[in-house]
């Protein structure tokens, strides 16, 4: 069965062909599809992505699948181990810290630029994103809601019209999705929406400084929603327990 690829829907699809610097084609299709699946948490960190299996699913040969997996590896969503294959990445605690620190550096700047470049049509688009996110949350699809929340941040970067920074943000947000899958501790995802609402207000007033400030706190807040304490692995903790017993 060839061509059973889900068409990327207008909203969830945060990645374009520029994300992977690949020409259009089947390799790119598979990239985008896997990318979405990972962002929506349908593929969990650590999961094996066998070349044969993926090829079977998409009706493509290993040649094409390999290229797709290597592209995803370069964007950090997939980790390839020689002679062992490809796995959905498991960002370390260290990497999680750094990703959110990088976001706290870059995204506020982008928010400021976006506020200055903001047009009426852009505001409408952002509003639609928010509505879609609410709808997904209401229907109970947390994975999709998270992906849409990321898409909101990417939409801002696109409005700022800075392609280089925008690519960086895309990569950081993709990795954030994995990080959240691994380390998120809060039950409420709703706090997000408040920040997004506040951003929208700043944008509508073309208040760059406010947008920058709000975005910065928003990201710091997201960061603080993670549980990034080192957990000693079971083996050593067992040894400790027995030693002191």
Q: Which residues of the chain form contacts with its own copies (CB under 8 A)?
A: 20-25, 63, 66-67, 70-71, 73-76, 79-82, 94-95, 98-99, 101-102, 105-106, 109, 162-165, 168, 172
26 binds, among DNA, its own copies, none (CB under 5 to 8 A by kind): DNA
Indicate which single residue of 1, 7, 83, 235 sits in contact with DNA (rule: CB under 7 A). Answer: 83
As measured in angstroms, the least distance from the Cβ of 236 to DNA is 19
Give the CA angle between residues 36, 41, 47 to the nearest 5°: 100
Q: In whole angstroms, how close is the CB of 37 to DNA at the nearest point?
A: 17
Report d(CA 216, CA 146) in Å as an integer: 19
- Per-residue DSSP letter, 84: T
Instruction: Pick the binder of DNA from 13, 57, 66, 109 (CB under 7 A).
Output: 66
Q: Which of 60, 88, 148, 156 binds DNA (CB under 7 A)?
A: 60
Site for DNA contains 235 (CB under 7 A): no
In the complex, minimum distance from the CB of residue 95 to DNA, in angstroms, rounded to a whole number:
22
Q: Find all residues with CB under 8 Å of 115, minimum gap 6, and list them.
A: 202, 203, 206, 207, 208, 210, 211, 212
* Burial category of 63 from C-beta neighbours within 10 Å (exposed 0-12, middle 13-18, buried 19 and up): exposed
- State yes or no: residue 3 binds DNA (CB under 7 A): no
Strand order, beta sheet including 85-88: 48-49, 85-88, 78-81
* Interaction of residue 43 with DNA, rule CB under 7 A: no
**Which partner from the list its own copies, DNA, none does 74 bind, CB cut-off 5 to 8 Å by kind?**
its own copies
Nearest partner of 77 among 170, 186, 189, 185, judged by Cα: 170
64 binds DNA (CB under 7 A): yes
Q: Give residues with Cβ within 8 angstroms of 153, minimum separation 6.
A: 107, 169, 173
């Amino acid at each position: 069965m060839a061509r059973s690829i889900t068409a990327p829907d207008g909203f969830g699809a945060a990645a374009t062909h520029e994300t992977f610097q690949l020409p259009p084609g089947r390799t790119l299709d598979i990239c985008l599809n896997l990318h979405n699946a990972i962002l929506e948490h349908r593929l969990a960190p650590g999961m094996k992505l066998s070349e044969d299996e993926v090829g079977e699913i998409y009706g493509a040969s290993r040649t094409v699948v390999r290229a797709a997996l290597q592209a995803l590896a370069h964007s950090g969503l997939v980790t390839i181990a020689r002679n062992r294959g490809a796995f959905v990445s498991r960002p370390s605690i260290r990497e999680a810290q750094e990703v959110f620190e990088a976001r706290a550096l870059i995204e506020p700047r982008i928010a400021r630029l976006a506020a200055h470049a903001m047009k009426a049509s852009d505001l409408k688009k952002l509003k639609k994103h928010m509505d879609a996110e609410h709808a997904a949350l209401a229907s109970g699809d947390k994975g999709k809601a998270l992906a849409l929340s990321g898409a909101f941040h990417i939409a801002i970067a696109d409005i700022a019209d800075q392609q280089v920074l925008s690519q960086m943000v895309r990569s950081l947000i993709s990795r954030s999705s994995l990080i959240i899958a691994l380390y998120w501790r809060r039950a409420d995802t709703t706090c997000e929406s408040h920040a997004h609402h506040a951003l929208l207000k700043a944008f509508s007033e073309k208040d760059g400084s406010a947008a920058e400030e709000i975005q910065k706190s928003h990201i710091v807040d997201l960061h603080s929603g993670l549980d990034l304490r080192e957990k000693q692995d079971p083996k050593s903790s067992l040894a400790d327990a027995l030693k002191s017993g």
